[in-house]
Each structure stands twice: as structure tokens, then as C-alpha cells.
Amino acid sequence: MLTIDNVSFSYSRHTQLIENFSMTLQPGTVCGLLGKNGAGKTTLLYLICGLLAPKSGLIDFRGMQPMERSTAFLNDVFIVPEEFSLPNVELSSYVEVNAPFYPNFNLEQLHHYLEVFELRPDLHLGRLSMGQKKKAFMSFAMACNTSLLILDEPTNGLDISSKRNFRRVLAECMTDDKSIIISTHQVHDVDKVLDHVIITDRKGVMLNASLNDVMDKLTFSFTTDRERAEKALLALPVPGGFNIAEPLLDKSDETEVNLETLFELVQNGYRLPESSK
């Protein structure tokens, strides 16, 4: 669905923010985009959407180049940025103006997502809190049914109940022909809905793997055994002991992926072994 080939970008000639960055994204994927502050995650999302132009390299979305801003491209990609503003109008007016740009928009889905978020369909966008605006905007975005949906820090500003509802609507809107990219620092809010993870720095991809591939190679657990922690690939001190990552030696020992531990492991130089054929 999406190919990024040796893309570089800088806001000034003195600072290279993204350098020779390459990645691919397949359909039917909920992908977490993780990286340190300043690693260029939001800039990368804007490049994918055609809001910025790469200094070099190529971005291809289903045979289209984002910076050309073709109608077919704009109809099929939606981004919910971390910070945004909405007009001071009723939601029905917003839908009337904006929904026609998205051929696959579904009003019934919009009303369902709003209901899950405990919002009324007759709401007025100008009278909502920031958290409510985010839930309303994400509901509209998912109801547009674009092939690519990009969410930048979607759970910021949401309370505990709303984060749980976000995971529900995200799972419901997903289909095999869509892909969703979630850029976040709040890994615990999304780790149960991701099936793929990309960890980046300014120079490119440090990890691009399905969670199944990660679980085939690594096991994640908590231990109070300091000796075991010292032998692990990575041990993160936590109250009462350590969160550790170890090589998976027996399939019966398979565990869920701890994204925080995985992120620190990759940042420390670990690279996932290639699968044997």
C-alpha cells in the first residue's frame, strides 16, 4: 500500500531531520510508529500525507505520489493530527460540507462511533472540550473509510474510559484493505490493537516487524531474579523487580510483546534476526 524509498527531509540546510528513510506498509495493518522526541515522526506523517515535500527520495501510495495531491489520493487518506481546530458549527453542518470529499463515507458508522464515545450526533463542535473534539474528529475520520488512516498521538487528552472506547472503535473500523498508522508515546494505550510496529530514528527504520514476528524471536516477562535480569537481552528496573526481554527458546514460552521494553531494546542496538526459510 505504501512505500517510502530513501526519503530525506530538513527544515533548514544545517539540520537533517530525516535522512535516507525507507519503509513499506502492507494493507490490513494497524501499525504503531514509535520513536524518541525529535525523531521526525510527525514530519514523516506529513510527508506521507503530501503536506510536506521530501528533499529527495520517493513516496508511493498505491501508485500515487502524495505531493501531487491528486483527487484520488486526497479521497483515500485521512490524518488526525495531534493538534487541530474544528469550526464553530454543528456536526451535521460539518458532515454536510466535508463528507462528500470521501466516497466511502458512512453516516451510520459515524453515529455508531459517536455512540461508543458517548457523544450525541446532534452535538455542536464549538461547545466541546478538547477531549470531546478529538473523539468527534476521530469518529468522522474513521467513518470516511479511507484506505490509509493516520492518527498522531490519538489518546492524548482522553480519559481512561475514552481510551478503552478508542480501542474498540479502532478494531471495529479496521478491514483487510485498510491500514492505520498510529504515532504515539502512550504505548500502553494501543499495544492491544497493534499488529505491526515500526521503530524509527532520524536516519531510518530500526525495526519494521509484525508483532507475530517479534513473538517468534523474543519473550517478555517480569522477574525479581537479579541474576536472570543480568543475563537478559534487556532489563528495565520497575517497582519490585525488572521487565526483561529474552530470546525465545521454546514456542511454549511465547508471551505478549511489551512495547516499552521492545522499544528500549531496539534503541540499545538490538536487531530482530531474519526468519529462517
pLDDT at 73: 96
CA-closest candidate to residue 143, choices 181, 185, 179, 172: 172
77-92 residue pLDDT tens:
999 999 999 999 999 9
Per-residue burial over 76-98, b if 16 or more Cβ lie within 10 Å, else e, is bbbbbbeeeeeeeebbeebbeee
Q: In 10 A of CB 101, how many CB atoms?
A: 12
CB 193 within 8 A of CB 171: yes
Confidence at 35, pLDDT banded by 50, 70, 90: confident
154 near 116, Cβ under 8 Å?
A: no
Helices (H), 176-252: 187-190, 211-217, 226-231
- Region 108-134: mean pLDDT is 95
213-241 tens-digit pLDDT? 999 999 999 999 999 999 999 999 999 99
Is the model's pLDDT at 188 over the cut of 90?
Answer: no
DSSP state of 90: B
pLDDT score recorded for residue 275: 52
Higher pLDDT, 18 or 51: 51
pLDDT at 277: 38
- Among 100-104, 164-168, 252-256, 262-266, the minimum mean pLDDT is found in 252-256
Question: How many angstroms separate the Cα of 105 from the Cα of each of 65, 77, 146, 159?
Answer: 23, 12, 8, 27
Q: What's the rounded Cα separation, in Å, for the pair 73 and 222?
A: 45
CA neighbor of 170 nearest in space, from 186, 188, 192? 192
Cα–Cα dist 17/40, whole Å: 6
CB 113 within 8 A of CB 142: yes
Is the pLDDT assigned to residue 38 strictly greater than 60? yes
Question: What fold does the segment set 2-202 form as a domain?
Answer: Rossmann fold (3.40.50)
Give the pLDDT of residue 14.
Answer: 67
Which alpha helices (DSSP H) does the chain contain, by range?
41-49, 71-74, 91-98, 107-116, 130-143, 160-173, 187-190, 211-217, 226-231, 259-267
pLDDT band at 185 (very low <50, low <70, confident <90, very high): confident
DSSP 127: G
Contact indicator for 8, 55 with CB cutoff of 8 Å = yes
CA distance 137 to 114: 10
b/e for 111-141, b at 16 or more Cβ within 10 A? ebbbebbebebebebeebeeebbbbbbbbbb
Q: In what order do the strands lie in the sheet with 29-34?
A: 77-80, 148-152, 179-183, 29-34, 196-201, 204-210
Cα 150 from Cα 78, distance rounded (Å): 6
Q: Which has more confidence, 72 or 205?
A: 72
User: Residue for cell digits 506523517?
Assistant: 45
Alpha helices by DSSP H, 13-159: 41-49, 71-74, 91-98, 107-116, 130-143
Query: Residue ranges of the domains in the chain?
Result: 2-202, 212-267
Tens digit of each residue's pLDDT (9 = 90 or more) over 195-206 = 999 998 776 788
Q: Mean per-residue pLDDT for 127-136?
A: 94
* Residue 23 confidence class, pLDDT cut points 50, 70, 90: confident
Query: What integer pLDDT is reported at residue 39 of this predicted model?
Result: 75
pLDDT value for 187: 87
Taking all residues of the chain, what is their mean pLDDT, rounded to a whole number? 91
User: Is residue 276 scored above 60 in pLDDT?
Assistant: no
